[in-house]
Every structure is written in structure tokens, then in C-alpha cells.
Amino acid sequence: MTTETAFDVVVIGAGPGGYVAAIRAAQLGMKVAVVEANHLGGICLNWGCIPTKALLRSSEINHLLHNLDQYGFKAENITFDFKKIIERSRGVSRQLSSGIGHLMKKNKVTVFMGLGKLLGKGKIEVSPSKWLPEGVKGVEKTETLSAKHIIIATGARARQLPGFEPDGKLVWTYREAMVPAEMPKSLIVVGSGAIGIEFASFYKNMGADVTVLEVADRIMPVEDEEISAFARKQLEKSGMKIHTGVKVTKLDKGANNVTAHVEMNGKVEKVTADRIIMAVGIVANTEGLGLENTKVKVEKGIIQVNDYLQTAEPGVYAIGDVAGSPMLAHKASHEGVICIEKIANVPGVHPMKKENIPGCTYCTPQVASVGLTEKAAKEKGYTLKVGKFPFIGNGKAIALGEPEGLVKTIFDAKTGELLGAHMVGAEVTELIQGYVIGKTNELTEAEFMHTVFAHPTLSEMMHESVLSAYNRAIHF
């Protein structure tokens, strides 16, 4: 353990916001430390984005193995080892977490594995943490660090509703859903945001009977209504049961199952399953940070910051989930860079435009978007040009056996500005970046139209959707 205690920058939290901020600060010649109470890489790498993608990959393979006949193959007695599927997911996280440790050493970032707390101006207390994984050595005694700049990057955790708290056996959050002792035969998922619908998709593709309960009037309520409706149709086609506009009022726990009392269609229905996942959002980790020792302002659980992530306390910053929505890893990472570059007075640094941040959901089919939905654009008073192109009109999609999907683009009719892009179907989480780049660089429909897209690719649908907005689509 280092004896150094004075730094230019101390980052509390080593998730995708914190560790990126630390590395960028080190690149700019600053003396940097990171304080982490649990895992390097944070929730995203250890219990969120990454391990869930490993699980979803396994479920996609299982789904494909049971549908080989469409590709001319035949397989019998297909089985899987659920324990190995979970172990693979955890192994992916361990590999990447150790990779973050390597990056810290490579960039000469000092790491304190312990609890960080602000003591006042430029002072951080680091104390032993009870949340460290087995085998990880943490600080053995409380010590005090000093820093010119302190960045809070403590992330978020699953929201818990009174009466629906996780018990580790029958009632799960995303964390328990990632490491179950055995595969449930039936599952209820409460909430159809990205977390809820991804777990619903995973367990459905692994063979479970899945029921989704959503209080809003549609699934994935932040997405464009047309994309949401398309995704629901495909999920229900796979056998998933979905109920929207409903409310869970009570849970009855049995010996090895749970029954949800659900208000739907004016009466209370009972839905029983082996397990239930509560995926009702996340809340920022702002407690226990010593913010009362500073001028930092917290409203509705979110630390208030300006465009460059500065709080009301000079020298204290907040990035990522604690600084508000969208609570996405890539938003946190970019905020970390902006924050550090502003501190270092790097020429050209500018605030992030949140409307240019993409969102991705890795269910089957995938959903991806950037910018305004059609409804939101109309509410803002824009006159629109809307283009749509279905996967069934794309040669590569048909060749892949993925003909179900839709690409939708929304333009300002007056200026040609791309206001939003929304996609559902195979690999759209990879495709969306093309629109993000175009939107970030303020391209108009003309630039998109005159861009050559390789053939045969799924990306051709992006071109066709733009053409469609101006009644020029070729292949549909």
C-alpha cells in the first residue's frame, strides 16, 4: 500500500466514469488516486452491462440451437449446463476487472481499495470496506488523502420498493438474477426498461416461462412508440407474456415460488412463478459520502452539477449516475473526460449534448436509439420528415435469417437536421453509432443520402430510412 497521500485528483468510485477520469487525468500529467469500496470497473463491468451481455450471448446461442432447421441443420437432445453459463459470465467480469487494475498500474494511478468520504475542503477519508471481494486487499486502517480536485463517481444501485425488497431466494434484483443457483422454470419481471426486458429476454431464450409486468402503458417507455410496439410484438411472438398499464400491489411467498397480486383491467389477478425480478429503476449512491461537510447540493437523490460537472463546492465534481440521467456507462465515461479536460484547461473542451447520447437494449430483438422520439419532436414544435425501412427489404437481413426489424429516422423538415433515429432488430446496437456520429457532427439528410453504404450490409437500411423520409427509398 502506498504511503502517498497528496494528489492533484482523487476519484471516489472506479466504475466506467471514475476509472476513465483517472486515466485521462494521468495522461495529462496529474498525480491521481482512485478510491473504490468494491470492484474495479464498478457495477457496469461486474454486475451490469458486461456480465449481462455474456449471459445474453449464451441465451442467443441456445435459441439458435433450437431453430437450426431454418439454416439446414439438425441437432437432437440439446442441453445446457446452467452453472457453466453463469461461471462464464462471472469469468468475463473477472477478466475485465483485472484489466482495469492493469490500466491503473500502467497509468500510475494509485488505487485505494476502501470507503471514500469527504471531510471538507480538499480532504478525503479512506476507511476499510466490508464490501471487498474475497482475495482483494484493502486499506487496513483509516487514512486521510488530500487533493486539489475531488471527483465523485459512486454510481447507482437497484431501486427497492417497500414490501418488495429482494430476499436472495424468491425476490431478485439484477444482481441475484445474474448468479442464480439454478435455472427457474418460470419468472415474473416487474419493469420493462432496459434491465427488466434484457433479463426477460435472457430467461425466455433459455426456456423459462416469462411474464413481464409494466406500470406504463407500453414496454420500454423511453423508446419511440412505434419501436416499442414492434419490439413487444416480437417478444410476444416468442412466447413472452406482457401486461402493460398494471400495478403489482402485493407478493405472497411460497416455499419455492412467489405470487404477485396484479391490478389489471379493473380487477386484481394473481400471477405465480418460481422467481420474480424487481427491475423498477436505479437510485444514485450519494449516501455516506460526507456531502454534509461541503456545499454540494443534492436534489431528488441527484448531485447538482454545471455543464462541466462542477458542484456548488469548489474543487468537487460529480460524474455518471450520481450526476443524473441518462444513467448509462458511456455517458459516465464521457463526463469523466470532459470534467478532467476542463480542470486541465485542455483547448476545445465543451459540454456534452445529452440528445446525442445513444441508448441500447440487448433483448431479442435489440433496440437502439438516439435523439428525439417522433412524439417528443412534435411536442417541441418541429415539422417533421419521417423515414422508415423494414428489415424484410434488406438482403443481408434475409440472408442472416433476421427479417424482422425496423429503422426509423426523424428529420426537421425545415433544416434537414437529424432529430432522432430509432431501430429495432438484429445488431441495431452496433448500427446506431452511424447515426450518432452524423448527429454529433450535425449532418443533414443530404450528407446521409450522399454517403455510400457497403452492400450487402444491414447498414444499408440506415441509408434507405433516410431516403424514405424524402420519398426516395429504393428497395421498399
Catalytic residues: 455
Q: What Cα–Cα distance (Å) separates residue 305 from each residue in 12, 311, 328, 407, 411?
A: 16, 5, 17, 35, 31
Across 374-431, the runs of DSSP E, i.e. the strands, are 384-390, 406-412, 418-425
Among 117, 91, 102, 93, which residue's Cα sits nearest to residue 37?
A: 117
- Residue 414 burial class via C-beta count within 10 angstroms: exposed 0-12, middle 13-18, buried 19 and up: exposed
| Ordered alpha helix ranges (H), 10-48 | 18-27, 42-47
Which three cell numbers mark 465?
430510412
Q: What Cα–Cα distance (Å) separates residue 85 from each residue in 175, 200, 422?
A: 15, 16, 31
Among 140, 226, 181, which residue's Cα sits nearest to residue 407?
A: 226
Among 282, 281, 328, 325, which residue's Cα sits nearest to residue 303?
A: 325
CA distance 243 to 207: 20
Across 85-244, the runs of DSSP E, i.e. the strands, are 110-113, 115-120, 123-127, 143-152, 156-158, 171-172, 186-190, 209-214, 241-244
Which three cell numbers mark 74?
439438425
- Residue 33 is which amino acid? A
CA distance 419 to 385: 10
Q: Please give the backbone phi and psi of residue 65, each rounded to the nearest 5 degrees, phi first.
A: -60, -30
> Collapsing DSSP states into helix, strand and coil, what is residue 40?
coil
Among 18, 19, 28, 22, which residue's Cα sits nearest to residue 9?
A: 22
> Are residues 192 and 242 in contact, defined by beta-carbon separation less than 8 angstroms?
yes
Through-space distance between the first and last CA atoms of the chain, rounded to whole angstroms = 64
| Ordered alpha helix ranges (H), 225-264 | 225-237
- Residue 18 is which amino acid? G
Q: Which residues of 348-366 are buried (b: 16+ CB within 10 A; e: fewer)?
A: eeeeeeeebbbbbbbbbbb
> Are residues 123 and 144 in contact, defined by beta-carbon separation less than 8 angstroms?
yes
> Are residues 161 and 239 in contact, defined by beta-carbon separation less than 8 angstroms?
no
